[in-house]
Amino acid sequence: MSQDVVSLLQQLVRIPSVNPDNAPGTEQIGEETLAIFLTGWLESIGAEVTLEEIKPGRPNLIARFAPLDGRPRILLGPHLDTVGVGGMVIEPFGGEIRDGKIWGRGASDTKGPMAAMLWALHDHQDVLADLPVAVDFVAFMGEESGQWGSKDFVKRHGKDYTFALVGEPTSMQVVHVTKGSLWATLRATGKAAHSSQPERGENAILKLTRALDQLDHHLGHQLATFTHPVLGRSTMNVGMIRGGARPNIVPDLAEAEIDIRITPALAAEGGALKLLTETLAFFDLPIEILNPHENPPMETAADHPMIQALLATDPVTGLAGAPWFSDAAHLSSGGIPSICIGPGSIDQAHTVDEFIEISALEQGAAFLSAFIAGLKRR
């Protein structure tokens, strides 16, 4: 089995599927080529495959091995896209085997988990149509930017599913709680003037930085009150700041990009955007919020039968939480109880020399195969 799943992952890495939205670092962008390859591969093991275009040339893939006949239905759901390849110190699409590892963009996040899921389905291709719990394979576009694929899928198809295993590199731990996030741009405006007469202008950079200092203090303290026993507290990071044109011009525009990580408790109180807006208004801070993009946290009860089935598959597997978010959060928010699971470590995701240990890939495929075998008894 090992050489087969290894060869499959090499094929996946060698098909570029770079998300075009955030500095791809290559002209080989989009998910369509990978989706077409997977269509043929999945059809060869008995699946009926549908591609649903979410953005031009960027589809979701849905593969079913059993008809929609009312039986309980779960999905194995990695994402098709990878982050950009700029700055990588290895061949991003090489799929090279070296030092017991497979190297290349997506080897960890998340083509490694994808290959493990696909190979588990391959192991059981002769019985998938007859299982008491139907198992679909769904691959989402756009996870590394706006998660449009999972958002669209759960709106169209969420009612058909009772559980989702979302493919992410979790070292085969069952990640059942994750933080959400708010990304937003904060803008301050001012009045340009010659720097020899700064009193004639209004310095947007100073307005912004003073407001950020107040936010860091006041909003930071508020966020810290929204805690979770696994995830810790809600947090804010100012990740980017820009403004001004020349040192001899009083700047009339300055912007900062922030990232607020959201615990379930904060989401229950209306979310990060609501709290940010209220804080800006309360302290009368001269800041405008632009392009807010909020992702929900996820918390799936540990006693869910499918989580218990996963934990029973291998005693090494346990429950975990994560500060990052994924497609699983949108599926869960839309009504499909979800977790993240897959071989590989999040520590290798998005790195300049991304890899996955071959032994971890093999173990992941074996675990998922054993999990599917256990569904025969449900």
Buried b (16+ CB within 10 A) or exposed e, 201-240: bbbbbbbbbebbeebeeebeebbeebebebbebbbbebee
Same fold, 2-178+297-377 and 180-295: no
Residue 92 pLDDT exceeds 90:
yes
CA distances (Å), origin 85, targets 14, 55, 148, 342: 13, 22, 21, 22
Distance CA(59)–CA(140), nearest Å, equals 8
Q: What is the DSSP letter of 16?
A: -
Q: What is the DSSP letter of 115?
A: H
Asked if residue 112 lies in contact with residue 364, where contact means CB atoms within 8 angstroms, the answer is yes
Task: List pLDDT tens digits, range 307-366.
Answer: 999 999 999 999 999 999 899 999 999 999 999 999 999 999 999 999 999 999 999 999
Residue 88 pLDDT exceeds 90:
yes
Helical residues (DSSP H) of the chain, grouped into ranges: 2-13, 32-44, 111-123, 148-157, 204-214, 220-223, 264-268, 272-282, 305-313, 327-333, 358-374
> Percent of the chain scored above 90 by pLDDT?
97
CA distances (Å), origin 38, targets 8, 23, 62, 111, 152: 11, 25, 10, 12, 20
Distance CA(340)–CA(300), nearest Å, equals 11
Helical residues (DSSP H) of 45-160, grouped into ranges: 111-123, 148-157
Helical residues (DSSP H) of 49-158, grouped into ranges: 111-123, 148-157
Angle, CA of 139, 144 and 149, to the nearest 5°: 40
Residue 66 pLDDT exceeds 80:
yes
> Percent of the chain scored above 70 by pLDDT?
99
Task: List pLDDT tens digits, range 45-63.
Answer: 999 999 999 999 999 999 9
DSSP structure string for 327-349: HHHHHHHTT--EEEE-SS-GGGT
Q: Can you give the pLDDT at residue 378? A: 67
pLDDT, mean of residues 235-247 = 96
Name the CA dihedral angle for 63, 67, 71, 76, rounded to a multiple of 10 degrees. Answer: 0
Q: What's the mean per-residue pLDDT of the chain?
A: 96
CA distances (Å), origin 68, targets 9, 133, 138, 253: 30, 11, 15, 55
3-class DSSP assignment, residue 180: strand
How many C-beta atoms surround the C-beta of residue 127 within 10 A? 13
Asked if residue 337 lies in contact with residue 162, where contact means CB atoms within 8 angstroms, the answer is yes
Phi, psi of 83 (to 5 degrees): -75, 175
The domain locations on the chain are: 2-178+297-377, 180-295
Is residue 223 very low, low, confident or very high in pLDDT (cuts 50, 70, 90)? very high
CA nearest neighbour of 326 among 118, 170, 115: 170
| Beta pairing partners, 339 | 165
Task: List pLDDT tens digits, range 147-172.
Answer: 999 999 999 999 999 999 999 999 99
CATH class of the region 180-295 = alpha beta
Asked if residue 108 lies in contact with residue 338, where contact means CB atoms within 8 angstroms, the answer is no
pTM for the model stands at: 0.91
Buried b (16+ CB within 10 A) or exposed e, 40-51: ebbeebbbebeb
Name the CA dihedral angle for 164, 365, 353, 146, rounded to a multiple of 10 degrees. Answer: -10
Asked if residue 184 lies in contact with residue 257, where contact means CB atoms within 8 angstroms, the answer is yes
Is residue 376 very low, low, confident or very high in pLDDT (cuts 50, 70, 90)? confident
Q: Does domain 2-178+297-377 have CATH number 3.40.630.10?
A: yes
Distance CA(376)–CA(351), nearest Å, equals 39
- Exposure of 330 in the CB half-sphere (CA atoms within 13 A): 23
Residue with tokens 């699409």: 93
Residue 124 pLDDT exceeds 70:
yes
Residue 299 pLDDT exceeds 80:
yes
